[in-house]
Structure 1
Amino acid sequence: MTTSKKTVKKRSRKKKAKKITFKQRLLAFIWSFFWKSSLVFIALMVIAGIYFDKKIERRLEGSTWTLPAQVYARPLLLQPHQSVTKQALISELRMLNYRPVRTVQSAGQFAVQGDRVEIYRRAFDFPQGIAVKEKVIVTFVYNRITSIKNSAGENLATFKLDPLLLARLHSDQIEDRLFVPFEKIPDLFIDTLLLMEDRNYYHHQGISPFAILRAFMVNFKAGYTVQGGSTLTQQLAKNLFLTQERSLWRKFQEAYIALLMDYKYSKDKLLEVYLNEVYLAQNGKTGVYGIGLASDFYFARPINELRIEQIALLVAIIKGPSYYNPRRNPDRALTRRDLVLRLMVENGLINSNDYKYAVADALRLSARSALNKRANPAFISFLHREMKQQLPSSVRKQSGLSIFTSIDPLAQQHAEFAVENGLEKVDKNSQKLLQGAMVVTDRKYAELRAIVSGRDVKFSGFNRALDANRPIGSLVKPAVYLTALEAGYELNSVLNDKQIVLKNSTGQRWQPKNYDRKFRGEVTLEEALYKSLNVPTVNLGMQVGLSNVINTLHKLGVKEKIKAYPSLILGSVSLSPFQVAQMYQPITMQGRYRTLQMIRAITSIEGELLYQRHDRTEQRFSPQAVKKLTDTLHKVATEGTARSLRWRNKGQVFAGKTGTTNNLKDSWFVGFNAREVVTTWVGRDDNNSAKLTGSSGALVLFSTYMKQKK
């Protein structure tokens, strides 16, 4: 072979070698890019997984939400021989949203048959322990309980109803929520939810590829999004961690987080979180999250007491809380609810008979203000102050506190009506310039039962019951007479009722007069008090000594510094209605002092007792002296300045004291019966004359309150 031919063959082989080398290099490059990219992708996935995992742990480990504090009223305690009317018990049950039925079958129901009321109490976790569901029959004779028997026919010494939830305390940064643990969610609710939203929930790993593919095909054919492929786990991932943005990146994050959550937590745990997180309504500025609060918002009852049609409606709303809002779009919501009911019967969740009755029922929603109707700004204001005094900041800031108070919801309702209605009666000019306040306390336990701070009982502005310091007028006189009785004076001791002139340290003259401008010469101590005579009271006060009267006021609970001017004997000292209520508490408790409070106990979200009232009662005055005083205050209501109560409230027995200040600016009355002390003030915010005495103003509000107690 010639040299030239060999050279040609070598070049040919080199060209082939070069071609093979290029292909190999290309393949090598592609392979290198692939595995390096894969490594980078895997690394990014791992990093993203770690990041998402930490977010999931922070959110789902321990307390998932900062829950608002639950504020409860006092539970109604029933006992044989107790003076309680059947109607009062029924009113309490209705306030607690117990359902009247013919035959009591489940918790949250009651039936009335003649003089008997049958009740199926809900279970409740009290600070002292759990009260289980229990059925009892309460029998009445006239206005008194004669017996309480359980379902076994055994007589009970006491029976306590579950307390009314008055309010949820939350800041603007805390969503309103009522947490429901998984075990308390009705099975029918869960089965219906999964039927409508995610039938394979317990069989997929957080995402459903088939559902995603099906949704893609439907949306592709329609040309726009008509169906979603998200599982409940993906919806939860979006609700907890992501925005509502529609993008592939957001969908990727949603799916990835769903896979991680499904791997780390049980299906029941995730379902519990979902049902307590899902948005279901808007209540003013506050969103309604979770089925527990939504059940209260739409139906005013706990989730475990919902009827079939109510469960169907709540599940229907989950699909679109705005679109299927039953208050704004009732027809649309009803159609969706009926669809849910039809699928429930077709899939064997309910029988045909249940379906027939459920689908025939109307929506029957509670009032729009169901979540707001119980809260009263006056007692919420007092609650915050008491919590600040009694509890450290670390306890106050805990999530999900249960606060048990002494507020009596019926007394609160009656007090609100009394202030609104009573002011209408006494406002002679009908200009609505008069304002009023009322404080109702318990004689035995020194607890706040009700508080009203103004004519508009739901207004959360100036709290007159706590902060309106006004001269108390003749309300101070019992302190003067108690000082004298403690010093040895008797009710028949004689006092001068003659013109007197007193001079102060600067030489100014003060000439007190009786309200009727008359002098009686001499009167007994008892007559001077029940007729509220000024001149004999001033004489008595000067005799016992101003410093001693001031000391009595401090022992009664007045904390303000009081100057020793003779005018204080006629009430120049200024106090708020609540301070007056505290001042009269020892008088109504046989001379024993105890600070007026509202909080009974506070428990943590786990049920741990964090606070319980334990202050002691202190005997500060002689019981004998106090009895003489209260006997005379009873005469005030029968023969004295409050004698109009004899015809205003026939058959009711009271003691009390009227108070009127100079120029009729302030009208006061403190009245009490065997159970309650009611402090009432009427006046004007601009401090102009109310043109009312204690008997023509504040007493009318007291009378209106007590008429409702019959």
Structure 2
Amino acid sequence: MAQTKKVVKKKKSTKSTKSKNKATWKQRLFAFIWSIFWKSTLAFIALMVIAGIYFDKKIERRLDGSAWTLPAQVYARPLLIDRDQSLTQKALITELKLLNYRPVKTVRSAGQFSVAANKVTLYRRAFDFPEGIELKEKVTVSFSANNVPSIRNSAGKTLVNFKLDPLLLSRLHSDQIEDRVFVPFEKIPDLFIDTLLLMEDRNYYHHQGVSPFAIARAFIVNFKAGHTVQGGSTLTQQLAKNLFLTQERSLWRKFQEAYMAVLMDHKYSKDKLLEAYLNEVYLAQNGKTGVYGIGLASDYYFARPINELRVEQIALLVAIIKGPSYYNPRRNPKRALARRDLVLRMMVENALINTNDYKYAVADSLRLSGKSALNQRANPAFISFLHREMKEQIPASIRKKSGLHIFTSIDPIAQKDAEFAVGHGLDKVDKNKQKGLQGAMVISDRKRAELRAIVSGRDVKFSGFNRALDADRPIGSLVKPAVYLTALEAGYALDTKINDKEIVLKNSTGQRWKPKNYDRKFRGQVTLEQALYKSLNVPTVNLGMQVGLTNVINSLYKLGVQEKIKAYPSLVLGSVSLSPFEVAQMYQPITMQGKYKSLQMIRTIASADGLLLYRRSHKVQQRFSKDAVKKLTDTLHKVATEGTARSLRWRNPGQEFSGKTGTTNNLKDSWFVGFNSQEVVTTWVGRDDNRSAKLTGSSGALVLFSTYMKQKK
């Protein structure tokens, strides 16, 4: 019995031990799982905190400062209309069309104009000039013949002058800088914002960066369809993706996108984020450059600022945001039109527009601007000169700033007319196009020494060799005014006699040189005046030797020539080689009463926020006596009435010019520099291979000058 009891007791003890061991194993498993859980949780929390700090710093760097490195914007001169100014109604209308002002019957808003009889009524756009903001204003400009007798605003007040907003010529950006026009939130039309939120994110102002409802809805729709047909991303998530992430489709990317969206929504206002989104969103591809932001997209598709878009244009731009490639209105017009009409229907159904607005809008076609609207304004010739001037005149500390506003002296009307003159003028002198002629034209302001226009060849959009700046060619008789100016400065008179007889000169190697007049005749003696306006070679050589070649060279340097010049007698007949731009610089003091000022293009530069950073100096140097220069310019006027450029009397009747023709040996180069009371026009015609153009100055370059000036009537 005792043994039996002992056995039972032992069994109970064994069972108890097993229970304890089992309990211990479960506890250990639980403890292990719990340990993994809380450690993983802590690790996850730590990861989230670290990721949050990293993302927050990344967001802060991008959105607290300047979110983008903006391209520099280059503007033409603004048209200043003065009362009693010489200006035609046609010229003003041309300017307004270049600025993409819309012709209407009744002017009601900025960017519109109307024409009635001898009046033009326009509503100027507001513009932030370096001198201050010019507000939008409605005025009526009256014309009498080619003058402006009065300018009145909408209140009937007479204005002394009125300034239009300038034409945007180009945006300078490198491959590392995206092309973009920044539009602040307050300048984005309310209708655009309301329409965008209606179509893309209706709860934008109510969610915290991520919308669980939108995600759930998208999941259900996509599940039913069997593929992705709808996204659940908010505009804030899209902004996070556009600013910081790639287009890769992965859970990690979606996690980053959502996390960043929540952080951004917590840190910044809804308006700030919406502003960032609308300036970042991709909307088109313009060649190698993407079109980012609604400001640039408005210009690209409609050639006008965002605040001037009509209802149907706003609807189309919002439609494109959904899929810039899929709804590209140039490649897929039917698809884009259908999407636009859907947006319009949603707009009227949600009371964003009334029924009448909807009827007019939906009946309109797409009406896009030219396919390469953003590329048609910039002329490579003046952009090339701008880059050079920026490098030479503007400190690097200014050049490197983002979003510069560069205001230039380029006159868009003069540029347009010059491009026409070179193309059509060359066609006139090379009718069969067998000579292979090229041409260049540089137009400067006579009083300010500013570049108005520059053309470097037949193909004005060709960005290769710039003939206006880099084609060094012998200038022929264009050098003669420097010889005669030297003499007039030394006390010679216009009626002073000089010999026109055969002469023989020897150079340092003993070679003989016998200069001849173009007509191979000698006249015995002629006055300085006759010798110049008839462009006689022999008297000019005699005069150059009398006043001294060194003095002539010094006069050329004072006129602005920077090339090293050797004192050979042939110098006075134009053996020196210069580019058309250098010739324009040389003639500038002659047209400015002997005052020298370097020929430039940049007037002012302002920062992105309107701070003036650079202004061109107005200082000039009086390098020649006014009396001597007046005698010279009076004689150059005779060149156009009695001398080598007298064909201008029948080519351009009623117009008054002064100028000088230039022809080089074997008729290789044809030159003409002509000027009126406002402009100096330097023109060259020749061949790139340096073979004979078979043209004199009057039969070649003068024809291009004449073509340009005919457009001024």
Partner of 1:116: 119
- The residue type paired with residue 566 of structure 1 is P
> 1:428 offset after TM fit, Å?
4.7
How far does the alpha carbon of each residue in 1:323-353 deviate from its partner, in whole angstroms, 9 at most, with x for none? 1000111110000000000000000100111
1:26 corresponds to 2:29: yes
Deviates more, 1:356-365 or 1:54-63: 54-63
1:86 corresponds to 2:89: yes
Percent of aligned pairs with the same amino acid:
81
Distance 1:50 1:557 in 2: 61
Partner of 2:355: 352
> 1:26 offset after TM fit, Å?
2.4
Deviates more, 1:483-492 or 1:460-469: 483-492
Partner of 2:168: 165
Partner of 1:263: 266
Partner of 1:603: 606
What's the secondary structure of 1:518's corresponding residue? coil
In 2 relative to 1, CA 112–26 (structure 1 residues): closer, same or farther, beyond 3 Å?
same
What's the secondary structure of 1:651's corresponding residue? coil
- The residue type paired with residue 294 of structure 1 is A
How far does the alpha carbon of each residue in 1:565-584 deviate from its partner, in whole angstroms, 9 at most, with x for none? 11001011111100000000
> 1:615 offset after TM fit, Å?
4.3
**8 Å CA contact 2:435, 2:693 repeated in 1:** no
1:197 corresponds to 2:197: no
1:589 pairs with 586, 592, 600, which one?
Answer: 592
1:392 corresponds to 2:395: yes
Aligned pairs (5 A) from 1:52-67: 52-67=55-70
What's the secondary structure of 1:174's corresponding residue? coil
1:100 corresponds to 2:103: yes
2:250 pairs with 247, 250, 255, which one?
Answer: 247
1:447 corresponds to 2:474: no
1:336 corresponds to 2:323: no
What's the secondary structure of 1:371's corresponding residue? helix
Partner of 1:406: 409
2:635 pairs with 604, 613, 632, which one?
Answer: 632
> 1:16 offset after TM fit, Å?
2.4
Partner of 1:668: 671
- The residue type paired with residue 573 of structure 1 is V
1:481 corresponds to 2:484: yes
Partner of 1:131: 134
1:216 corresponds to 2:219: yes
Partner of 2:7: 4
Deviates more, 1:513-522 or 1:57-66: 57-66
What's the secondary structure of 2:499's corresponding residue? strand
How far does the alpha carbon of each residue in 1:105-124 deviate from its partner, in whole angstroms, 9 at most, with x for none? 11111111111111111111
Distance 2:219 2:432 in 1: 72
2:281 pairs with 278, 283, 289, which one?
Answer: 278
Deviates more, 1:692-701 or 1:495-504: 495-504
Deviates more, 1:432-441 or 1:670-679: 432-441
How far does the alpha carbon of each residue in 1:576-621 deviate from its partner, in whole angstroms, 9 at most, with x for none? 1000000000110111111101000001112111110014111111
Distance 1:431 1:459 in 2: 21
Distance 1:46 1:133 in 2: 50
2:530 pairs with 527, 530, 533, which one?
Answer: 527
Distance 1:249 1:620 in 2: 72
Aligned pairs (5 A) from 1:223-622: 223-431=226-434, 433-622=436-625
In 2 relative to 1, CA 294–432 (structure 1 residues): closer, same or farther, beyond 3 Å?
farther
Partner of 1:41: 44
**8 Å CA contact 2:125, 2:136 repeated in 1:** yes
How far does the alpha carbon of each residue in 1:540-579 deviate from its partner, in whole angstroms, 9 at most, with x for none? 1111111111111111111111111110010111111000
What's the secondary structure of 1:637's corresponding residue? helix
Distance 1:398 1:546 in 2: 48
- The residue type paired with residue 301 of structure 1 is R
1:703 pairs with 691, 702, 706, which one?
Answer: 706
- The residue type paired with residue 440 of structure 2 is A
> 1:13 offset after TM fit, Å?
2.4
> 1:188 offset after TM fit, Å?
0.4
Aligned-pair Cα RMSD in Å? 1.0
Distance 1:58 1:432 in 2: 60
Aligned pairs (5 A) from 1:142-181: 142-181=145-184
Distance 2:574 2:678 in 1: 27
- The residue type paired with residue 379 of structure 1 is F
> 1:21 offset after TM fit, Å?
2.5
What's the secondary structure of 2:613's corresponding residue? strand
What's the secondary structure of 2:123's corresponding residue? strand
1:623 corresponds to 2:626: yes
> 1:492 offset after TM fit, Å?
1.2
> 1:205 offset after TM fit, Å?
0.5
Distance 1:558 1:305 in 2: 48
Distance 1:387 1:99 in 2: 34
Distance 1:228 1:82 in 2: 60
How far does the alpha carbon of each residue in 1:407-440 deviate from its partner, in whole angstroms, 9 at most, with x for none? 0000000001111111111115413611110000
Distance 1:89 1:203 in 2: 50
- The residue type paired with residue 179 of structure 1 is F
> 1:186 offset after TM fit, Å?
0.5
> 1:487 offset after TM fit, Å?
1.2
Length, aligned pairs only:
710
- The residue type paired with residue 701 of structure 1 is L
> 1:173 offset after TM fit, Å?
1.4
What's the secondary structure of 1:159's corresponding residue? strand
Distance 2:578 2:229 in 1: 66
What's the secondary structure of 2:30's corresponding residue? helix
Distance 1:269 1:13 in 2: 70
- The residue type paired with residue 608 of structure 1 is L
> 1:387 offset after TM fit, Å?
0.6
Partner of 2:186: 183
What's the secondary structure of 1:677's corresponding residue? strand
Distance 2:396 2:430 in 1: 44
Distance 1:578 1:104 in 2: 43
Deviates more, 1:44-53 or 1:195-204: 44-53
> 1:355 offset after TM fit, Å?
0.5
Distance 1:218 1:655 in 2: 78
- Relative to the length of structure 1, the TM-score reads 0.99
Distance 1:144 1:185 in 2: 39
> 1:244 offset after TM fit, Å?
1.1
Distance 1:285 1:310 in 2: 25
- The residue type paired with residue 155 of structure 2 is A
Distance 1:362 1:129 in 2: 39
> 1:56 offset after TM fit, Å?
1.1
> 1:22 offset after TM fit, Å?
2.5
Distance 1:235 1:371 in 2: 27
> 1:368 offset after TM fit, Å?
0.5
Distance 1:107 1:82 in 2: 24
- Relative to the length of structure 2, the TM-score reads 0.98
